[in-house]
A = this chain, B = another copy of it.
């Protein structure tokens, strides 16, 4: 099954779902946009694609139409779509927040086209709840330990708290966006 798909793997699945692409296309997307967070090196992308292919989540077909050398276009298999969908609709749990927010934001980024706006909204609400708990825990940790830290340490901690709080605000903003649309749709 979809045991062990890395961030890069999910990023590739999401992009390929949006548009069938070759490894080179994908690499260019990574290196030319701020998605380069997920590695832009061929030594990461090509092996990742082959892993996904071995897991039957994508399938590559060779195209030689335009006289070029072999260009392998990857498309999602039904299993790939399913894997993306489960990933997108899984609720946010506490440990999703302990290792940075990029994975979750990536999940959200693809959620609408993969699973529809209702799923996006659910994901946001789940994130909102998890973040509230997370921020509360951070405040507790801060109150308990900030006197033991040097000033730069304390400020760094505050940076982490602010980061979470800013993400929470974004979450509320995004939820408002979706609710507005739902209401509009409901009044049709």
Binding site for B on A (CB under 8 A): 33-34, 36-37, 98-102, 105-106, 108-113, 117, 120, 138, 141, 145, 150-153, 155-160, 162-163, 166-167, 169-170, 174, 177
Name the contact of A155 in the complex, choosing from B141, B158, B174 (C-beta under 8 A). B174
CB <8 Å contact, B33 and A112: no
CB <8 Å contact, B100 and A34: no
Name the contact of A150 in the complex, choosing from B99, B105, B113, B162 (C-beta under 8 A). B113
A163 to B173, CA, bound (A): 14
The residue of chain B having its C-beta at the shortest distance from the C-beta of A119 within the complex is B152
Name the contact of A163 in the complex, choosing from B33, B99, B157, B163 (C-beta under 8 A). B163
A139 to chain B, nearest CB (A): 11
Name the contact of A100 in the complex, choosing from B98, B102, B111, B162 (C-beta under 8 A). B102
CB within 8 Å for A98 and B37 given contacts A150-B113, A162-B170: yes
Name the contact of A166 in the complex, choosing from B36, B141, B163 (C-beta under 8 A). B163
CB <8 Å contact, A159 and B170: yes
CB <8 Å contact, B166 and A109: no
Q: What residues of B have a CB within 8 angstroms of the CB of A109 in the complex?
A: 152-153, 155-157
CB <8 Å contact, A98 and B156: no
A114 to chain B, nearest CB (A): 9
Name the contact of A34 in the complex, choosing from B37, B102, B150, B160 (C-beta under 8 A). B160
CB <8 Å contact, A177 and B155: yes
A157 to B33, CA, bound (A): 11
A3 to B70, CA, bound (A): 39
